[in-house]
């Protein structure tokens, strides 16, 4: 299919089109905010390109999910609205549905697993939804939500596998084009695929109308990456297990509707490690002053890991989407500790010392001379490997990176000690 001046329009037979995304944006007027586009000089220096961060972590309810949830629910019939809606989620989708229901005056029931983070539970209830704690994971909550829908007549709101949801999520693509008109490469996280699919329609079709091309890269956590094998097989390939700190994209099976769009319009899907995600989250806090959940940081992790270079892409203007900021403080604490360790900025060593006065003072002097910061010390005189007169000591230190950590270790070895790294 071509436009009025004969340009080919990609994906013209797909279930979601540019006009659907444009209509969704009209529905969202006054409901969501156009989230800011933040320039990242630090990432730009790494890539040798201009890099901007689409701060969707500052969206209402803390993520992009409200875009799709509201569009889906606004298009329900009056009879369906009267019956109410039901959803299942451990976080972002729950808050998006709850906020949309409040705006539309629709009764919402949200099933959440019993172990859900307390801040996410409180935020969902604060929007007026009835929360039912059920099961030990999202899959069990999802099954119960579907049963409730079948029995009560409440409309089930899927987090990504519906054309209205995809169109709503795609409105982020229109904002990117308006805020950064010269963009040539966009990266964003992918779980079920609703955000990436919708953005792909908006970005690819509008770019084609402008007579240019935009590269679009999806990013998954390597321990929750259902899209690469599914795209390779040209069929939905469910994962046997999903385990990642990026719970917002911890989806074991792609959605049918997003998958059909992504396989036609998206240029590639890459994966990043847990360490890379943790380091990206810390980078965003330190350098951009942005609190982002692990799922929202995977796009930056891909940039920091050099994924564009691996694909042979040499961008001039990049946008990385930060899809959400709903992170549980306890998880944040663990991720920060993990990220500092992965970046060699948190060093833990075990030493065997003679149990005599002044020995710890010597160790402290060596570490102080290297300008490392001791934040914790634990020692024991009892253990199977300890002889009489020996003591085992574990020291936790903050360092400035891998070179500084190596300096600390070498300084200890130069004084005759044998530090065992325990990170």
Query: pLDDT tens for residues 101-113?
Result: 999 999 999 999 8
DSSP code of 374?
Answer: E
Of 31, 14, 195, 26, the residue nearest 103 (C-alpha): 31
Q: Is residue 22 in a domain?
A: yes
| Whether residues 400 and 362 fall in one domain | yes
Q: Is residue 411 in a domain?
A: yes
pTM for the model: 0.88
57 close to 292: Cβ distance less than 8 angstroms: yes
**Alpha carbon distance 359, 376 (integer Å):** 17
| Whether residues 154 and 295 fall in one domain | no
Q: Is residue 6 in a domain?
A: no
Query: Given 54, 65, 120, 307, which residue is catalytic?
Result: 65
DSSP class per residue in 189-230:
E-SSSHHHHHHHHHHHHHHHHTT---EEEEEEEGGG--HHHH
| Whether residues 326 and 384 fall in one domain | no
| Whether residues 181 and 294 fall in one domain | yes
Buried b (16+ CB within 10 A) or exposed e, 270-306: bbbebebbbbbbbbbbeebebbbbbbbbbbbbbbbbe
Q: Is residue 7 in a domain?
A: no
Which structure tokens are listed for 339? 């990220």
**Position 329 confidence tier, pLDDT thresholds 50, 70, 90:** confident
| Whether residues 189 and 293 fall in one domain | yes
DSSP run (H or E) holding 130 = strand 130-133
Q: Single out the residue in 304, 339, 374 at which a domain terminates.
A: 339
Q: Is residue 4 in a domain?
A: no
The segment with the largest mean pLDDT, out of 43-57, 137-151, 347-361, is: 43-57
> Which pLDDT value is given to residue 54?
98
The reply to whether 103 belongs to the active site is: no
Q: Is residue 352 in a domain?
A: yes
Q: Is residue 98 in a domain?
A: yes
| Whether residues 46 and 188 fall in one domain | yes
| Whether residues 325 and 279 fall in one domain | yes
Task: Report the 10 Å Cβ neighbour count for 149.
Answer: 20
**Alpha carbon distance 169, 196 (integer Å):** 8
DSSP class per residue in 332-368:
HHHHHHHHHHHTT-EEEEEEEEESSTTHHHHHHHHHH
**Alpha carbon distance 360, 417 (integer Å):** 12
Spatial CB neighbours of 72, under 8 Å, sequence gap ≥ 6: 100, 157, 162, 164, 165, 168
Query: Given 89, 299, 323, 392, which residue is catalytic?
Result: 323
- Give the range of the structural domain holding residue 330, as residue numbers without chain letter: 18-60+164-339
Q: Single out the residue in 136, 159, 182 at which a domain terminates.
A: 159
> Which pLDDT value is given to residue 5?
56
214 or 328, which is more confident?
214
> Which pLDDT value is given to residue 404?
93
> Which contacts qualify for 418-423: CB closer than 8 Å, 24 or more apart?
418/351, 418/352, 419/349, 419/350, 419/351, 420/349, 420/350, 420/351, 421/347, 421/348, 421/349, 422/348, 422/349, 422/350, 422/394, 423/341, 423/344, 423/346, 423/347, 423/348
278 close to 332: Cβ distance less than 8 angstroms: no
CATH number of the domain enclosing 260: 3.40.50.1100
Query: pLDDT tens for residues 158-210?
Result: 999 999 999 999 999 999 999 999 999 999 999 999 999 999 999 999 999 99
Q: Is residue 5 in a domain?
A: no
**Alpha carbon distance 268, 30 (integer Å):** 34
| Whether residues 241 and 335 fall in one domain | yes
| Whether residues 243 and 331 fall in one domain | yes
**Alpha carbon distance 291, 275 (integer Å):** 17
| Whether residues 410 and 393 fall in one domain | yes
| Whether residues 32 and 105 fall in one domain | no
For the chain, what is the domain count? 3
CATH number of the domain enclosing 401: 3.30.70.260
| Whether residues 168 and 239 fall in one domain | yes
Which of 36-45, 139-148, 153-162, 375-384 is predicted least confidently? 375-384
> Which pLDDT value is given to residue 106?
97
Q: Single out the residue in 138, 159, 180 at which a domain terminates.
A: 159
Residue 371 Ramachandran class (φ > 0 left, ψ -120 to 50 alpha, else beta):
left
On average, the pLDDT of the chain sits at 92
Reply yes or no on whether the pLDDT at 1 is more than 90: no
The reply to whether 204 belongs to the active site is: no
């Amino acid at each position: 299919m071509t436009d009025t001046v004969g340009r080919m329009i990609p994906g013209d037979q797909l279930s979601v089109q540019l006009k659907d995304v444009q209509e969704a944006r009209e529905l969202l007027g006054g409901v969501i905010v156009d989230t800011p586009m933040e320039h990242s000089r630090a990432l730009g220096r790494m890539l040798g390109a201009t890099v901007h961060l689409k701060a969707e972590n500052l969206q209402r309810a803390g993520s992009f999910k409200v875009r799709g949830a509201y569009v889906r629910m606004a298009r329900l019939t009056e009879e369906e609205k009267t019956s109410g809606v039901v959803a299942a989620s451990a976080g972002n989708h729950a808050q998006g549905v709850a906020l949309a229901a409040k705006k539309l005056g629709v009764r919402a029931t949200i099933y959440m697993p019993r172990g859900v983070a307390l801040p996410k539970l409180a935020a969902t209830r604060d929007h007026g939804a009835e929360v039912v704690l059920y099961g030990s994971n999202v899959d069990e909550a999802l099954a119960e939500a579907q049963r409730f829908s079948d029995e009560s007549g409440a409309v089930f709101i899927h987090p990504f596998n519906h054309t209205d949801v995809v169109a709503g999520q795609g409105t982020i693509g229109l904002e990117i084009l308006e805020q950064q008109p010269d963009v040539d490469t966009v990266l964003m996280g992918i779980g079920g695929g609703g955000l990436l699919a919708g953005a792909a329609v908006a970005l690819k079709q509008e770019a084609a109308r402008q007579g240019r091309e935009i590269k679009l890269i999806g990013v998954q956590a390597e321990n929750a990456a259902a899209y690469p094998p599914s795209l390779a097989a040209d069929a939905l390939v469910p994962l046997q297990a999903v385990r990642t700190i990026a719970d917002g994209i911890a989806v074991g099976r792609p959605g049918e509707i997003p998958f059909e769009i992504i396989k036609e319009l998206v240029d590639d899907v890459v994966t990043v490690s847990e360490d890379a995600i943790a380091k990206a989250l810390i980078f965003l806090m330190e350098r951009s002053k942005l609190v982002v959940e692990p799922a929202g940081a995977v796009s930056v992790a891909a940039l920091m890991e050099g994924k564009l270079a691996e694909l042979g892409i040499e961008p001039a203007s990049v946008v990385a989407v930060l899809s959400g900021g709903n992170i549980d403080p306890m998880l944040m604490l663990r991720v920060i500790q993990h990220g500092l360790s992965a970046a060699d900025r948190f060093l833990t060593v075990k030493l065997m010392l003679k149990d005599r006065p002044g020995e710890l003072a010597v160790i402290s002097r060596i570490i102080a001379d290297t300008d490392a910061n001791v934040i914790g010390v634990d020692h024991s005189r009892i253990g199977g490997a300890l002889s009489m007169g020996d003591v085992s000591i574990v020291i936790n230190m903050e360092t400035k990176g891998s070179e500084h950590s190596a300096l600390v270790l070498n300084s200890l070895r130069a004084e005759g000690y044998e530090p065992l790294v325990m990170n």
